[in-house]
Chain A
Amino acid sequence: MDRIPILKFGNALLVTIQVDMHDRLATTLEEDLTSKIVAHSARGVLIDISALEIVDSFIGRMLDNIAAVSRILDADTVVVGMRPAVAITLVELGLSLAGVKTALNVERGMALIEGRLSESEADDADDED
């Protein structure tokens, strides 16, 4: 497997990482995701890492980068399903992923993105009035 599939889901993109990440896979994902956000004009990116058991500083930085890039392209990033061991590792590495939103599972992550979308739509509607 040399790339991770990116699924379109309404206004959001869904990425499920189900294999162990190695560095090239991570950079490929970053590039693919950036172009897909633009292509589909996505407003949210949901990254499910519930199957990810091992992280290193590179993967941690990749998540941060994706969040930063998405923010520039006006999309929210939500990382969901992080395992306790992974969370502890990231904290010990000093990566608290400040720019990334988190949720416990895909369901809650989706709700978070939808909540943001309806909020901004409401804002748009207010602006038009």
Chain B
Amino acid sequence: MTDVAGSDIASLVSRNEQTILPEWLELQKKAGTLNTGRISEGELQSQSQNFLHLLRDALAKGGNDVSNPVYEPAKAMLNDLSRSRALQGFTPSETATFIFSLKEPLFNALNRDQTLSPEKIAATVWTTTLLLDELGLFTLEIFQKSREEVIIRQQREIAELSTPVVKLWDGILALPLIGTLDSQRTQVVMENLLQTIVDDEAEIAIIDITGVPTVDTLTAQHLLKTVAAARLMGADCMISGIRPQIAQTMVHLGVELNVISKATLADAFGLALRQTGRTVTRIKKGEWQAGLKPKAGEQGA
């Protein structure tokens, strides 16, 4: 097969830009790029024109090897475009259409060109296809990557959001767990809890699993690890908020938590108060208003 120089394609693009660009835009519109109203027609036009120019320059300078550094500007532009479309909620095919729909106008331009021999045309079609395919794959890869980045960021945010350590009283901490406990989250939870135990000099930590949908052997193991680590730091652990169905499942699975467990956070808190030598008592009617003015040594003693 005859070798086709990139500069040939570049000059073809230059000569036929006036026809290629409108055809390309028309195809993109037909493919529905504008339908969802996520980008305007003007934006699409400037993007297309921009890319066509960058592609032409790269072809003129560096032939048809996409890994050549002269393709960097074109790739950088595709990168931005793909990223922004990923964030705007375009589907992968809608994003890839941007590149792939350029084929038809280019081939049409080739066919219209009277100066080229059929062999030359066939060879150019092949080279152009390879080139555009590669650029299309590049676009998809970037698209995928930006979606993955979004997912990773969200995972991190979820992990941070859902593991607060709450101080209930002097020396008593609560850790309300929400969602499934996997090993990665357990690690975050454990680190948070242990650090707070050190910072607050806590004696008792209550792990509340009301928000944990299921407790299987693995979750139980993770819970026990957290409890063991807290114990090594010198703090007692309790587990609260085991729902009736979960208690049954745990017994059926043979999961044993060899720690103090209470049905509700309130029960566990009551026990924690007693263990640290405090009680909660009801005060007489009318006394609470007097109690609003704090008496010495009444709170948090």
Binding site for B on A (CB under 8 A): 79-84, 86-88, 90-92, 96-97, 102-105, 108-109
Contact = CB atoms under 8 A, between A and B. Distances in A.
Interface range for B: 10 to 19
B201 interface: yes
A112 to B, nearest CB: 9
Given A82-B234, A84-B197, 11 more contacts: A80-B234, A84-B195, A84-B229, A86-B232, A91-B190, A91-B225, A96-B231, A103-B234, A104-B233, A104-B234, A105-B234
B191 A84 contact: yes
Given A96-B228, A104-B201, A104-B203, A88 B234 contact: no
B235 interface: yes
Interface in B190-232: 190-191, 194-195, 197-198, 201-203, 225, 228-232
A84 B198 CA distance: 8
Contacts of A108: 203, 234
Contacts of B198: 83-84, 104
A96 B232 contact: yes
Contacts of A83: 198
B232 A102 contact: yes
Nearest to B196: A84
A102 B230 CA distance: 10
Contact of B201 (A86, A97, A105): A105
A107 to B, nearest CB: 9
Nearest to B187: A88
Contacts of B187: 88
B225 A87 contact: no
Nearest to A112: B234
A97 B234 CA distance: 12
A82 B232 contact: yes
B195 to A, nearest CB: 5
A125 B157 CA distance: 59
Contacts of A105: 201, 234
Contacts of A90: 229, 232
13 contacts: A82-B233, A82-B234, A84-B191, A84-B229, A86-B232, A87-B194, A87-B232, A88-B194, A88-B229, A91-B229, A96-B232, A102-B231, A102-B233
Q: Which 6 A-B pairs have the closest CB atoms?
A: A84-B194, A103-B234, A104-B234, A102-B234, A87-B232, A87-B229
A82 B230 CA distance: 10
Contacts of B233: 82, 84, 87, 102, 104
Contacts of B190: 84, 88, 91
